[in-house]
Amino acid sequence: MTRQNSADQRNAAGEWAGAGFETVAIHAGQEPDAATGAVVVPIHPSSTFAQDAVGVPRGAYEYARSANPTRTALETCLAALEAGTVGLAFASGLAAEDAVLRTVLRPGDHVVIPSDAYGGTYRLFARVFAEWGVEYTPAPLDDLEAVRAALRPGTTRLLWCETPTNPLLGVADVEALAGLIHSVGGLLAVDNTFATPYLQRPLALGADVSVHSTTKYLGGHSDVVGGAVVVVDPALGERLRFIQNATGAVAGPFDAWLVLRGAKTLAVRMDRHCANARRIAALLTTHPAVAAVYYPGLPGDRGHAVAAKQMRDFGGMVSFTLRGGEEAAVEVCRRTRVFTLAESLGGVESLIEHPGRMTHASAAGSPLEVPADLVRLSVGIESAEDLVDDLTQALAALN
Ligand SMILES: *Cc1c(COP(=O)(O)O)cnc(C)c1O
């Protein structure tokens, strides 16, 4: 049955192969319901599906951990958006990452990870898979010589890439990294959460696996926790599907439906996130209280050239450090009114946070520790003037 589903998924995505991103987002995997004509994919809560005789399922479904029609719609849509062949939806971004690692790695394998990876990703390697006998080496992925030096030919099975990175907005050259890891027989996985498939398509750039926390921009409304994996190689897709079913961290039907609804408006939301982030980055670069701004859209940013080459636009995340140090960083987070002080990112509402004490606290004392005076913004889609005014008042008289 799972075989059948992945063939269906390929066909459904293939129908929209020539269409534009916005059209794919709204239609791939989302044909009007055959039974009722409902234009919107229904939420199917059923955990099980009737069989006409023993071993003869009535339709394509048997049991909802293995496959569920709402989840299949989302998985088909995500595969099409990422230009892959197999998409899989999980209960969280970390569940998606875990499934990739279980599929690809065996005890004794080695992986290279970004030296500024998302804190939860670092914890998964350092505290879970390390105990499982998987060795990891952090490397600055924007330094190709450093990455080459970290590779162990024959042992390095996986290069884990995040671009742009959370929270320092570092940019890695996906095409170049794919060349490096493929030359030693390993796979490239890219955490595409910050960029989204609208701004960047890692699989088209040579990556083997694209991973998302759909909690963020794909869901887009801060009302769901979810994850996704998309791959090109159907055999790798089948192994991942096996792990998804065998370990069971699947996206539930309502969660899958929320992410599917979010995906429909991803393109228009991202355009506004990017435009607003550009305004905020411009404000911060000229502000006397600000020490440094991290935003790949700034022409002087260390990642600008590579980002301009591989991304459609530069995203909605902006980080900065303060001349007043950690105290000033914490104070700014306390003062904003439109920017809500909270973890997470990628929703329509603007958020502000202090990574050192919040999202990245688990990396404290590790090689991935983040600067104490760093503030991270998830720039939302409110009116740009209100966002600029809010940050301006929060930064006033800080230095
Ligand atoms: C949030 C996040 C994750 C983890 O996703 P969850 O849905 O919280 O499990 C992974 N990578 C990045 C870049 C993230 O921002």
Name the residue among 171, 202, 216, 199 with its Cα closest to residue 379: 216
Atom of ligand 1 nearest to the CA of 226: 7
92 CB within 6 A, ligand 1: yes
Same domain, 155 and 31: yes
207 burial (CB, 10 Å; 0-12 / 13-18 / 19+) is buried
Pocket test for ligand 1, best of 116, 121, 163, 213 (most atoms within 8 A of CB): 213
- The best mutation among 118, 123, 360 to test binding of ligand 1, ranked by most ligand atoms within 8 Å of the C-beta, falls on 118
HEC sequence for 65-112: CCCCHHHHHHHHHHHHHCCCCEEEEECCHHHHHHHHHHHHCCCCCEEE
220 close to ligand 1 (CB < 6 Angstrom): no
Position in ligand 1 atom list of the atom nearest CA 96: 9
Report the distance separating Cα 253 and Cα 95, nearest Å: 16
Indicate if ligand 1 lies below 6 Å from the C-beta of 191: yes
Helices (H) and strands (E) in the chain, counts: 14, 14
- pLDDT score at 119: 87
Residue 215 sits in the same domain as residue 287: no
Among the candidates 264, 293, 328, a domain finishes at 264
Kind of pairing between the strands at 227-231 and 290-294? unpaired
- Residue 66, CA distances (Å) to 9, 62, 136, 209 in order: 14, 8, 32, 21
Phi/psi class of residue 14: alpha, beta or left (left: φ > 0; alpha: ψ in -120 to 50)? alpha
Distance (angstroms) between ligand 1 centre and the Cα of 58 equals: 37
What span, in angstroms and rounded, lies between the C-alpha atoms of 184 and 158?
Answer: 10
Q: What is the pLDDT of residue 6?
A: 54
CA distance 48 to 57: 10
Among candidates 31, 15, 70, which has minimal Cα distance to 47? 70
Q: What is the CATH number of the domain that holds 271?
A: 3.90.1150.10
pTM given for the model: 0.95
Q: Of 264, 287, 321, which closes a domain?
A: 264
Contact 339, 350 (CB under 8 A): yes
**CATH number where 38 lies:** 3.40.640.10
- Verify whether ligand 1 is closer than 6 Å to residue 255 (CB atom): no
Helix (H, G, I), strand (E, B) or coil at 56: strand
Indicate whether 330 and 191 sit together in one domain. Answer: no
pLDDT at 284: 98
Q: What is the pLDDT of residue 399?
A: 59
Residues 45 and 146 reside in one and the same domain: yes
Could you give the CA distance from residue 332 to residue 398 in angstroms, rounded to a whole number? 8
Residue nearest (by alpha carbon) to ligand 1 atom 5: 93
Clarify whether residues 206 and 180 are in a common domain: yes
Q: Say if residue 308 is in the same domain as residue 369.
A: yes
Q: Of 198, 229, 264, which residue is a domain's last?
A: 264
pLDDT of residue 13: 62
**Angstrom distance (rounded) from CA 328 to CA 224:** 32
Ligand 1 pocket member 114 (CB < 6 A) = no
| Beta strands 209-213 and 110-114, pairing class | unpaired
Predicted confidence at residue 368, as pLDDT, reads 79
SS3 189: strand
Question: Number of folded domains in the chain?
Answer: 2
**The residue to which tokens 């099409």 are assigned:** 80
Q: Are residues 280 and 227 in the same domain?
A: no
| Ligand 1 centroid distance, CA of 344 (Å) | 8
CB 301 within 8 A of CB 285: no
Contacts of 396 by beta carbon, 8 Å cutoff, 6+ apart: none
Residues 358 and 346 in one domain: yes
Q: Residues 322, 359: one domain?
A: yes
Q: Is the domain of 357 the same as that of 240?
A: no
Q: Are residues 241 and 350 in the same domain?
A: no
Q: Are residues 347 and 224 in the same domain?
A: no
Q: What is the pLDDT of residue 3?
A: 41
Task: Give the pLDDT confidence score for residue 117 in this predicted structure.
Answer: 87
**Residues with pLDDT less than 50, the chain:** 1-4
> Which residues span the domain enclosing 389?
267-396
Half-sphere exposure of 369 (CA within 13 A, CB side): 7
Structure tokens at 4: 């059948």
Q: Is 85 in the pocket of ligand 1 (CB under 6 A)?
A: no
What is the rounded CA–CA span in Å between residue 256 and residue 250?
Answer: 9
C-beta 378 within 6 A of ligand 1: no
298 residue type, one letter: L
